[in-house]
Amino acid sequence: MENFFAEYRTIIVFLHVLSGVVWVGGMVAMRYAAHPSFLEIESPAKRLERIAHALKNLFTIVVPFVIVLLITAVVMIMGYGLSHSEHAILAHAKEALWVVMALNLFAMIYRRNKAQKALEKGDFVLAKDQLGLIGKIMVPLNIALGVIAIFLGASLSGSL
Ligand code: HEM
């Protein structure tokens, strides 16, 4: 693995950084650029429908990058020998952040799917309840955790 990593290090780090950028950047764009604009739509049905649709697009884009992020992280852990180095604590902290962020993401996908079904049945109260938590808590939480993961990545990259 060390040889493989030495040969493809640039592309692996590039894919890792790109995945972090798309995952965290996608959530920032959705929450703070698109979401306030959706809230201007007067019809509650149309508004919830557009939010559910945009979230579906966002999740479809980010899931492959979440997987690439993990694969590249595992390759770097092995390639840099992080588990047995002085940087092990930072690497483990980033692993924990990935796990919490991924669980939060899959919980969001579950809630969005539930909201979609509620919308199809005309149950706007349930749909609003399911989508509301995603916008108020779950996406901001993942943005905050992602920013911490990027900061830890910057301190790792400065000391490897
Ligand atoms: C799954 C566990 C993770 C591990 C083991 C890990 C490991 C690393 C390592 C070793 C570097 C330095 C690479 C180098 O300079 O050669 C790095 C950088 C980076 N990581 Fe992670 N990472 C993980 C998760 C994440 C997550 C969840 C995000 C964001 C969502 C992320 C975003 C970044 C970014 C943006 C950089 C570049 C920082 C810079 O070069 O200044 N990583 N990571």
Tens digits of residue pLDDT in 79-107: 999 999 999 999 999 999 999 999 999 99
37 burial (CB, 10 Å; 0-12 / 13-18 / 19+) is exposed
Residue 160 lies in a domain: no
Examine the pLDDT at 1 and tell me if it is beyond 80: no
Residue 42 lies in a domain: yes
Number of domains observed in the structure of the chain: 1
144 close to ligand 1 (CB < 6 Angstrom): no
Per DSSP, the three-state class of 45 is: helix
108 close to ligand 1 (CB < 6 Angstrom): no
**Domain span at 35:** 2-155
Q: Which long-range contacts (CB under 8 A, 24 or more apart) does 92-97 make?
A: 93/152, 94/149, 94/152, 94/153, 94/156, 97/145, 97/146, 97/148, 97/149, 97/152
Whole-prediction pTM value?
0.96
Give the pLDDT band (50/70/90) at residue 59. Answer: very high
79 close to ligand 1 (CB < 6 Angstrom): no
74 close to ligand 1 (CB < 6 Angstrom): no
Q: Write the residue with the smallest CA distance to atom 20 of ligand 1.
A: 153
